[in-house]
Amino acid sequence: MHPTRDAASSAQTPTRGRLVLLGGGGHAAVVAESARSAGFTIVGVAGADAPPPDAPFAGVPWLGDPDGAASSAIESLVLGGAKLHAAAGDAAVRSRWVARFGRAAFATVVDPSAIVSPSAQIEAGAFIGPLSAVNARARVGVAAIVNTRAVVEHDCAVCDFAHVSPGAVLCGAVTLGEGAQVGAGAVVLPRQSVGARSIVGAGAVLVESIGASVVAVGVPARVRG
């Protein structure tokens, strides 16, 4: 029987401290496994609904709604030295939580299987997912997500709360605006930009920059509507 990822890495991964996950859905489950592999101890999970009682949340206390009654308990844990991670796919939710609890309270989670250039800049609360790559001189902003197998090439800027979905590729010197998302398997060609809060649909190929708050789909991608 093969060991689990957590078991295989536990002997060589330094302890990074206590972590509270804000969000208890599917993305939070991925973050939980990556965080444990990276050496964090998960001491609580907070969300509007209790997460499933099985792995990876088995035995982890549910604190309640971070936008409601759980906020005091979360603040107490932070005062006691715990860090937070906004483990939700919705950019507006992540932004709200960072504003609520303060940027300094948030920990970056980098899966041990990810490739991160030593010249890349990873900001507080970002998630760098399994088998992803963040290459030379790239920047990943506050509470941004570089999801499973995503590629952020050299000189890219993934702004705060943006999301590079599983298998998506940002070629060199791409700018992904605040709260924007590039869908699963999509490609953004070099030196193009995606405006704040815009979405590039799954599987699209973006060959020209797009502005803010629009949706682009297709090959080549065109703004819808």
Q: For residue range 172-184, what is the model confidence (pLDDT) as tens digits? A: 999 999 999 999 9
What is the structure's pLDDT at 16?
Answer: 79
From CA 218, how far away is CA 215, in angstroms rounded? 10
What is the structure's pLDDT at 1?
Answer: 38
pLDDT above 70 covers a percentage of the chain that reads 93
Torsion sign, CA atoms 108, 123, 162, 147: negative
From CA 42, how far away is CA 24, in angstroms rounded? 12
- Listed by start position, the domains of the chain span 5-107, 108-225
Greatest Cα pair distance, the chain, in angstroms, is: 53
Mean of the pLDDT values across residues 212-217? 98
Contact 56, 34 (CB under 8 A): no
Q: Where are the alpha helices (DSSP H) in 110-225?
A: none
The reply to whether 2 belongs to the active site is no
Mean of the pLDDT values across residues 36-44? 97
Q: Which of 27, 85, 154, 163 is catalytic?
A: 154
**Edge-to-edge strand order for the sheet containing 169-170?**
115-116, 133-134, 151-152, 169-170, 187-188, 205-206
What is the rounded average pLDDT for all residues in the chain?
A: 94
What is the CATH number assigned to the segment(s) 5-107? 3.40.50.20
Does domain 108-225 bear CATH number 1.10.10.60?
no
Mean of the pLDDT values across residues 21-39? 97
Fold match flag (5-107 vs 108-225)? no
Amino acid of residue 145: I
Contact 140, 123 (CB under 8 A): yes
**Residue 53 binned pLDDT confidence (cut-offs 50, 70, 90):** confident
219: closest CA among 211, 209, 207, 210? 207
CA dihedral 84, 133, 221, 213 (to 10 degrees): 20
Contact 133, 115 (CB under 8 A): yes
**Edge-to-edge strand order for the sheet containing 139-140?**
121-122, 139-140, 157-158, 175-176, 193-194
